Amino acid sequence: MTADSGILVLAGTPIGDVADAPPRLAVELASADVVAAEDTRRLRRLTQALGVQTSGRVVSYFEGNEAARTPELADALEAGSRVLLVTDAGMPSVSDPGYRLVAAAVERGVRVTAVPGPSAVLTALAVSGLPVDRFCFEGFLPRKAGERRSRLADVAAERRTLVYFEAPHRLDDTLAAMAEVFGAGRRAAVCRELTKTYEEVRRGGLGELAEWAAEGVRGEITVVVEGAPEQTVVLDAGEMVRRVRVREEAGERRKEAIAAVAAEAGLPKREVFDAVVAAKNAERSGA
């Protein structure tokens, strides 16, 4: 870190109620040399609500221009500027723009700090009623059905509580896919419009929640899903191979069949894959 380098400040912004803004946010907005905002119009509304005026240069920094604008902001940091990064809601770089700039700042030896603020991930976890001692954040699932199901299969045996973001118009499809892969009875909570006027937390089994969401849901959505139960099925290599074949004969692709059997047994996918490969090699050799 050079003596004349600047500082990158990642600031959390309210996820709903503007009163949740940390006091330091107003100070940083007023004093930053450069404010990089995901949406400059939303930034104006936020500063008006907080009764603060920005004195520095305001630039947009969103998914569409993140790669191109990062070098410009990194140059400003290296030249000694105090750059404040804010997104529409929550913490920058958590499923929002920011990671590229943080990486660039670190690479150039620029100090990076944060103004902690509201987080949809932690808020949803706290109110979900599901275990919070161990969890993992999975962000947004792929939009395509096959890719979405494959991603879910990858974590079907995950014991930790899972947290997802989802768009309201895709929620019913996502919950239906979760019910199929994780099991309709797996407990979950759909957290909608957190900290806002119409906040709602709907709890239940994934199958039940999928039926509810089919009627249409609006607002910002965070989904919290219970982790996989302890292993209750003990399978030897032969039984693993048999179950994979049954699924393949029913039309599943091998990759999906292996993931499903691994989830049933609470085993790593690699273990089931190795058993399938060993069985195929044995067949070829006539053993």
pLDDT in tens, 239-254: 889 889 988 888 888 9
The verdict on 152 and 77 lying in the same domain is no
Write out the residue range of the structural domain in which residue 89 sits: 7-118
Residue carrying structure tokens 């309201």: 168
pLDDT of residue 263: 78
230 assigned to some structural domain? no
The verdict on 266 and 199 lying in the same domain is no
The verdict on 25 and 112 lying in the same domain is yes
Q: The domain that contains 142 carries what CATH number?
A: 3.30.950.10
232 assigned to some structural domain? no
Q: The domain that contains 44 carries what CATH number?
A: 3.40.1010.10
pLDDT digits (tens, 9 = 90+) for 31-85: 999 999 999 999 999 999 999 999 999 999 999 999 999 999 999 999 999 999 9
128 assigned to some structural domain? yes
Total-model pTM: 0.77
The verdict on 67 and 56 lying in the same domain is yes
The verdict on 148 and 206 lying in the same domain is yes
Position with higher pLDDT, 132 vs 249: 132
The verdict on 213 and 242 lying in the same domain is no
231 assigned to some structural domain? no
The verdict on 220 and 249 lying in the same domain is no
Number of domains the chain is built from: 3
CA distance 53 to 47: 6
213 assigned to some structural domain? yes
The verdict on 21 and 104 lying in the same domain is yes
pLDDT digits (tens, 9 = 90+) for 188-210: 999 999 999 999 999 999 999 99
Residues 6+ apart with CB under 8 A from 146: none
CA distance 198 to 184: 27
- Domain ends where: 118, 139, 169? 118
pLDDT at 231 over 80: no
44 assigned to some structural domain? yes
| pLDDT band at residue 287 using 50, 70 and 90 as cut-offs | low
- Strand 7-11 to 161-166 pairing: unpaired
CA distance 158 to 135: 10
